[in-house]
Structure 1
Amino acid sequence: MKGLFTALMVSYDQDGNINEKGLREIIRYNVDVNKVDGLYVNGSTGENFMISTEEKKEIFRITKDEVKDQVQLIAQVGSVNVKEAIELAKYATDLGYGALSAVTPFYYKFDFEEIKQYYNSIINAVDNKMIIYSIPFLTGVNMSLSQFEELFENEKIIGVKFTAGDFYLLERMRKTFPDKLIYAGFDEMLLSATVLGVDGAIGSTFNVNGKRARQIFELAQQGKIEEARAIQHVTNDLITAVLDNGLYQTLKEILKDKGVDAGYCRQPMKELSSEKIAVAKEISNLFL
């Protein structure tokens, strides 16, 4: 399960319904044009926390049907509703997803024993593997090296999507857990994370910038740091422009400009103004 995984975007129509045709086009663009190693399905980038259980299942089904076995698939099933998480874990496993992932439980101030029970409850209910999704700046959940070690005592928990800026912790994890998978979660820090020895990366902007991500990742692995840094600089200029204009909406407009029916974002996310759509088209010209 190593390599570059796109955090898959989902196409919705203006009423917020899944646009199956558009979703399939996004999938094909990632597989055929971006040539990523896999897809991370129903994460934050897919607007997962604003959709129903049945809609999540439909996205899992469509993605697997479109991809077949062309690339690796990771199903993000995390939810503060553990019953839903287990239901989704069983569904994705039955579909043939190669691994599961689950965001740390959020909103309520869960203690570590509750977090540990959450992960064990999900993964022990299915015959599959689990990748922890650690994203403290959105969940408020910060875990220590020793706490990750406790989670990894369950052999079915095979790694972590590390979306945090604590690169000291990242380095300590890489040294301490050489046999666990560590994926970088911040696209703008891909070079730094690769130098520290991550096994891959899972990124939102890979939907449109997968080619440059591949260049950064492979050049850094080859020790060609200056070349990789130059591409990271360009990538971060583009990421800054996208963030300033509206992250998910702008990524979808860029995909539309590339001929992909990327649709709209779910409410309460707003639509871009005509001025911001024009900016998104200008940004699109800078992507490979």
Structure 2
Amino acid sequence: MAGRNRGRGGRRRKLPQVQRVGAYAVIIRAGAGEEPEILLSRLSEKVTPEERWTLPGGGIDHGEDPRDAVVREVYEEAGVPVEVGTEARVQSVHQAKAWRLGRRVNSHAIRIVYDGWVPHDAPEPQTMEVDGSTAEAAWLPLAAVTSGEIPTSPLVTDALDMHRPARMQRLAAYAFITRASDDAILLTRISPRGYHAGSWTLPGGGLDFGEHPREALVREVAEECGLTCATGKLLDVHDVNVVGTAPSGRHEEFHGVHLIFAATVPEDAEPRVVEQDGTTDAVRWVSRDELASLPLLDVVTAALDAEKKAAS
């Protein structure tokens, strides 16, 4: 076998140098059971006879932007649209003796790895490229991948060792509004477009850049409830830190800082959702007795606790 790499006179022949630059994406989402899943591609038998999964992506065409290459490759391998982050991690892998396309070569692979995410309503993965290097694509349990239960290429394990969820911090203002006649509380329900869809929360939302918190609160109550509110004192500053899938589909670590204000609306006010296709799909007055039967976000509990402290 060793003689294959030797020329006349027994001198060792230099292997041809092959350099390849590829772009890939780490795409993670919360699965149906809220357990994280990762989108991977299974290499075809023309690449390896063994079952082996890898990150979606591949070689960059001459003159092609690496992020464009990821978008193209993910669609070819999995049939889903993908958004790609602006930051990347780079891996350099040198194999002095590698088997590539039926011959032994001196291989150098440069791998540019981005964070990627797909919309919630993206179709199930389906390989679009015929007779290529990908046999199939699928969402797989992240725990089974990291434990080694699912066989993967070193690219996957190396990328996951470096992967961190995108960090998102959001400052928001919320209104604690009660009705004097029956002590009911004004609450809104989060639509399927928002995180914690189906849960009930206080009316309010994120601040625009440069916007005063009280002005943001008046705007949000008008958009979500169709009402004009008057803001009162600051009741509490509440925060939450969670890791999950954002409304965009991106794997994020989210830190929300919530300013909870007392606020009032006219006594006979009848709320209605004004903003269409937003993150609020229902709004109504909720009695105190009914609170225990509804899925409430922590910001509601924080407001109720602040109310008790103020009354004591």
TM-score with structure 1 length normalisation?
Answer: 0.22
Report which structure shows greater RCO (CA 8 Å, sep ≥6). 1
Structure with greater proportional helix content: 1
Question: Larger C-alpha radius of gyration, 1 or 2?
Answer: 2
Structure with greater proportional strand content: 2
